[in-house]
């Protein structure tokens, strides 16, 4: 296609697969303007004048927004971003910094135990030549592609994506590198030349005291700083009213860490990192993380890394746009769903060890001062996390011995989880014992159970203690399985195929304990991170599919509930970004701690749940009427049905199935969904020869939800 022409595709028709394309060569000012605005799906209108391209779209009921991009390279790219006729910000350029390091590929790209920050790395500013601008209709959304983006070894384009029915604009550096073994981070935002007049009257954010802080006028020109903030966002309040929030994808943006620290994830001011001579604001990724294992982000050679955040214009002030942004994460809270209770697993808060050591230091016989109402309990309740399965005693031998003997540790854990549970929170004992089976694994029982990990020769498997009752002693894989069968417990692989479970559960898929119905499967988390992927946590989703292809009989079927796997939680922790949640199908009130919680384990073992980052919900899912964990007679014309709720606009759904050897994916394009909606997805599909099938749904921020499988009816 000649650069000296503009092309408008014919047939801007109804099919979601249709792609309309308008190309504009910014080097040729003499190219004629459009005589009429060009119409794209969703009532998006693209207009071209001699100096600018304007994208106009319906942003809410009875409201339209506009993004105006300058074709004059001597001027800032974003001439104006407006909503309801009010220009919120204008005269700004995209800003970006990509920090490039080197991955340790000893275990390939599926890695957590790596520290590129300890090896040479370099940061590069975004350079955008604006070689061309093209506008594409992709499904029901519109993508504006600005050519000529580079940052060190990365090159590609800068892209804006418009979602009809939403004020959101995704702004992304979409670039690739051929550099081998690359791990990276990126910071992004908007900026102006430091000598230019400021296009905002203040920069604002919510601090750790939940107060709105404003840096007005020239205060925002000072040398750049990175404050701790709530809600992961920063705001510019416009000179003529209105405000603009920069909002990262709430879960995708953050690479995995052991601690959910609040790592100063925003910036504002002058000369931030490599942005010399520029004043701006935006979001950032920490290079140091929690100073433990800090893996950064994967960039396999040639992969298109979509380094994106959202611009959210608003007609009100910083408080108004912050409220609007938090609506997309339901105020960082998990919605209550009828017939479900929220369940979260794998927390190393080490309350047991802290309780015993603090009591000793204070010479206290009661609850130690400061531990009456721990921060983690408050955080769970504030987020509507109703059932929490801990992973206590995940410490070195010296630390555990200092706190107390194993039975004292267990008794304290049971006593404290009982004390801290009530009608809003069921706090449950659990461990990541990591002995005998291979890899890392979690234990979960339907009531308090006492057991030791190092059965001696001649020691009985179970003894009766006059105070504690039954005490089990395990010293082998067979002992662990016997314990789980005796106490109706569950075990599963923590972080399968990564961290301390590298090579697992694959390495023990033929063992008796793995084939047992007491082995649940593996747990899901977004780890590692790769922005070329359209979904989170593909590592575990692939493991889930493989495990069910391995299953030879119903008792061997496996599931993959979400896990969080973080250490100590404080009032400042950026917990929501690192979280996911499981919605268990449980009717009625929360189980009472004193009565035990077998219904929780039964729901997990029965596949009666779905897992989500929180924004996408699948409250109902059936295949020919069978719910997840149940059986159906798969045939030529099988009906897959899912009720879906969402906040961010949707991207796609997939029906995933397996035949015992292969995995199949049937994609359903959901582009064109306005935000904050609900619908029923139905599709008839040929499932002959399949052993299982499940559903995933993902949105434009790479938030998502997935169901456990429905299985082929047993003979």
DSSP 672-694: TPPSSEEEEEEEEE--TT-SEEE
Distance CA 53, CA 70 (A): 7
| CB contact set of 372 (below 8 Å; sequence gap of 6+) | none
Same domain, residue pair 250 and 399:
no
Same domain, residue pair 544 and 485:
yes
Query: pLDDT tens across 207-221, in order?
Result: 999 999 999 999 999
Instruction: Tell me which of 577, 612, 647 is where a domain ends.
Output: 612
**14: in domain:** no
What pLDDT, on a 0 to 100 scale, did the predictor assign at position 32?
40
For the cut 80, the answer to whether the pLDDT of residue 9 exceeds it is no
Same domain, residue pair 76 and 179:
yes
Confidence class for position 134, pLDDT limits 50, 70, 90: very high
Same domain, residue pair 352 and 498:
yes
Q: State the chain's mean pLDDT as an integer.
A: 94
What pLDDT, on a 0 to 100 scale, did the predictor assign at position 2?
34
Total number of residues shown for the chain: 715
Same domain, residue pair 589 and 675:
no
Q: DSSP class of residue 524?
A: B
Same domain, residue pair 617 and 643:
yes
Residue bearing tokens 């418009």: 162
What pLDDT, on a 0 to 100 scale, did the predictor assign at position 24?
66
For the cut 60, the answer to whether the pLDDT of residue 49 exceeds it is yes
Instruction: Tell me which of 612, 627, 646 is where a domain ends.
Output: 612
For the cut 90, the answer to whether the pLDDT of residue 615 exceeds it is yes
For the cut 80, the answer to whether the pLDDT of residue 33 exceeds it is no
Q: Which domain holds residue 701?
A: 613-714
Give me 697's structure tokens.
């749904």
Answer whether 597's CB lies under 8 Å from 426's CB.
Answer: yes
For the chain, what is the domain count? 3
Residue bearing tokens 């109703």: 386
- CATH number, domain of 651, equals 2.60.40.770
Quick one: which of 112, 528, 105 has its CA closest to 292? 112
- CATH number, domain of 553, equals 3.20.20.140
Confidence class for position 37, pLDDT limits 50, 70, 90: confident
Distance CA 149, CA 128 (A): 4
Beta bridge partners of 227: none
Q: DSSP class of residue 37?
A: P
Query: pLDDT tens across 393-406, in order?
Result: 999 999 999 999 99
Confidence class for position 715, pLDDT limits 50, 70, 90: confident
| CB contact set of 99 (below 8 Å; sequence gap of 6+) | 121, 122, 123, 124, 184, 185, 186, 187, 287
Higher pLDDT, 583 or 8: 583
**334: in domain:** no
List phi, psi (to 5°) of 389: -105, 115
Confidence class for position 38, pLDDT limits 50, 70, 90: confident
**500: in domain:** yes
**159: in domain:** yes
**481: in domain:** yes
- CATH number, domain of 322, equals 2.70.98
For the cut 60, the answer to whether the pLDDT of residue 588 exceeds it is yes
Same domain, residue pair 416 and 462:
yes
Same domain, residue pair 677 and 557:
no
Answer whether 628's CB lies under 8 Å from 583's CB.
Answer: no
**3: in domain:** no
Same domain, residue pair 423 and 503:
yes
Same domain, residue pair 194 and 230:
yes
For the cut 60, the answer to whether the pLDDT of residue 6 exceeds it is no
Query: pLDDT tens across 411-461, in order?
Result: 999 999 999 999 999 999 999 999 999 999 999 999 999 999 999 999 999
Higher pLDDT, 3 or 486: 486
What average pLDDT does range 693-704 have in this prediction?
A: 98
What pLDDT, on a 0 to 100 scale, did the predictor assign at position 466?
96
What pLDDT, on a 0 to 100 scale, did the predictor assign at position 592?
98
Same domain, residue pair 587 and 635:
no
SS3 letters across 217-284? HHHHHCECECCCCCCCCEEEEECCCCEEEEECCCCCCCCCCCCCCCCCCEEEEECCCCCCCEEEEEEC
Query: pLDDT tens across 307-354, in order?
Result: 999 999 999 999 999 999 999 999 999 999 999 999 999 999 999 999
Instruction: Tell me which of 286, 304, 327 is where a domain ends.
Output: 327
**5: in domain:** no
**332: in domain:** no
What pLDDT, on a 0 to 100 scale, did the predictor assign at position 26?
58
Query: pLDDT tens across 516-555, in order?
Result: 999 999 999 999 999 999 999 999 999 999 999 999 999 9
Same domain, residue pair 686 and 703:
yes
Give the rounded distance of the alpha carbon of 427 from its chain centre: 24
Query: pLDDT tens across 558-570, in order?
Result: 999 999 999 999 9
Quick one: which of 428, 658, 432 has its CA closest to 558? 658
Query: pLDDT tens across 261-316, in order?
Result: 999 999 999 999 999 999 999 999 999 999 999 999 999 999 999 999 999 999 99
For the cut 70, the answer to whether the pLDDT of residue 135 exceeds it is yes
Distance CA 14, CA 140 (A): 9
Distance CA 152, CA 100 (A): 8
What average pLDDT does range 669-682 have in this prediction?
A: 97
């Amino acid at each position: 296609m000649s650069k000296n022409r503009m092309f408008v595709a014919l047939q801007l028709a109804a099919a979601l697969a249709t792609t309309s394309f308008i190309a504009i060569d910014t080097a040729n000012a003499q190219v004629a303007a459009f005589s009429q605005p060009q119409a794209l799906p969703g009532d998006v209108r693209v207009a071209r004048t001699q100096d600018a391209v304007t994208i106009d779209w319906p942003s809410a009921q009875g409201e339209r927004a506009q993004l105006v991009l300058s074709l004059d390279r001597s001027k800032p790219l974003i001439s104006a971003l407006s909503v309801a006729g009010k220009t919120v910000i204008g005269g700004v350029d995209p800003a970006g910094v990509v920090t490039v390091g080197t991955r340790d590929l000893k275990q390939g790209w599926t890695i957590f135990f790596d520290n590129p920050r300890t090896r040479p790395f370099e940061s590069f500013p975004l350079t955008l030549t604006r070689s061309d601008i093209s506008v594409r209709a992709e499904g029901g959304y519109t993508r504006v592609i600005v050519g000529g983006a580079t940052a060190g070894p990365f090159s590609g384009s800068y892209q804006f994506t418009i979602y009809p029915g939403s004020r959101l604009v995704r702004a992304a550096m979409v670039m690739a590198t051929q550099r081998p073994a690359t791990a990276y981070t990126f910071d992004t935002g908007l900026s102006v030349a430091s000598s230019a007049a400021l296009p905002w009257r203040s920069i604002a954010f919510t601090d750790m005291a939940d107060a709105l802080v404003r840096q007005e006028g020239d205060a925002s020109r000072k040398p750049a700083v990175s404050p701790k903030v709530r809600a992961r966002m920063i705001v510019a309040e416009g000179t003529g009213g209105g405000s603009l929030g920069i909002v990262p994808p709430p879960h995708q943006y953050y690479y995995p860490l052991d601690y959910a620290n609040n790592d100063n994830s925003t910036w504002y001011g002058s000369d931030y990192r490599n942005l010399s001579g520029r004043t701006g604001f935006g979001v950032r990724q920490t290079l140091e993380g929690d100073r433990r294992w800090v893996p950064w982000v994967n960039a396999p050679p040639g992969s298109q890394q979509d380094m994106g955040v959202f611009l959210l214009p608003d007609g009100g002030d910083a408080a108004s746009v912050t409220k609007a942004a938090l609506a997309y994460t339901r105020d960082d809270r998990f919605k209550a769903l009828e017939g479900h209770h929220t369940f979260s697993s794998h927390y190393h808060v080490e309350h047991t060890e802290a309780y015993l050591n603090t009591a000793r230091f204070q010479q206290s016989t009661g609850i130690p001062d400061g531990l009456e109402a721990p921060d983690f309990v408050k955080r769970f309740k504030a987020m509507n996390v109703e059932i929490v399965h801990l992973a206590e005693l995940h410490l070195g031998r010296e630390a555990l011995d200092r706190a107390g003997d194993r039975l004292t540790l267990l008794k304290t854990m049971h006593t404290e989880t009982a004390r801290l549970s009530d009608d809003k929170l069921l706090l449950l004992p659990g461990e990541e014992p990591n002995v005998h089976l291979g890899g890392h694994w979690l234990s979960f029982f339907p009531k308090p159970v006492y057991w030791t990990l190092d059965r001696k020769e001649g020691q009985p498997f179970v003894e009766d203690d006059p105070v504690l009752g039954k005490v089990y002693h395990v010293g082998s894989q067979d002992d662990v399985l016997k314990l789980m069968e005796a106490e109706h417990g569950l075990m599963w692989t923590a972080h399968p195929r990564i961290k301390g479970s590298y090579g697992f559960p694959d390495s023990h898929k033929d063992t008796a304990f793995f084939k047992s119905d007491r082995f649940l499967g593996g747990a899901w988390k977004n780890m590692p991170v790769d922005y070329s992927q359209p979904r989170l946590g593909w590592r575990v989703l692939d493991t889930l599919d493989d495990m069910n292809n391995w299953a030879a009989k119903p008792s061997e079927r496996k599931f993959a509930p979400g896990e969080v796997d973080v250490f100590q939680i404080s009032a400042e922790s950026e917990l929501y970004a690192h979280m996911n949640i499981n919605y268990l199908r449980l009717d009625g009130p929360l189980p009472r701690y004193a009565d035990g919680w077998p219904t929780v384990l039964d729901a997990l073992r029965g596949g009666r749940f779905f897992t989500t980052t929180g924004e996408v919900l699948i409250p109902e899912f059936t295949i020919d009427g069978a719910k997840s964990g149940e059986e159906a007679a798969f045939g030529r014309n099988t009906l897959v049905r899912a009720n879906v709720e969402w906040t961010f606009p949707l991207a796609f759904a997939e029906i995933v199935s397996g035949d015992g050897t292969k995995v199949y994916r049937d994609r359903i394009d959901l582009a064109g969904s306005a935000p904050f909606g609900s619908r029923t997805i139905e599709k008839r599909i040929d499932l002959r020869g399949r052993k299982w099938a499940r559903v995933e749904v993902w949105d434009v921020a790479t938030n998502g939800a997935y169901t456990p499988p429905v299985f082929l009816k047993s003979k």
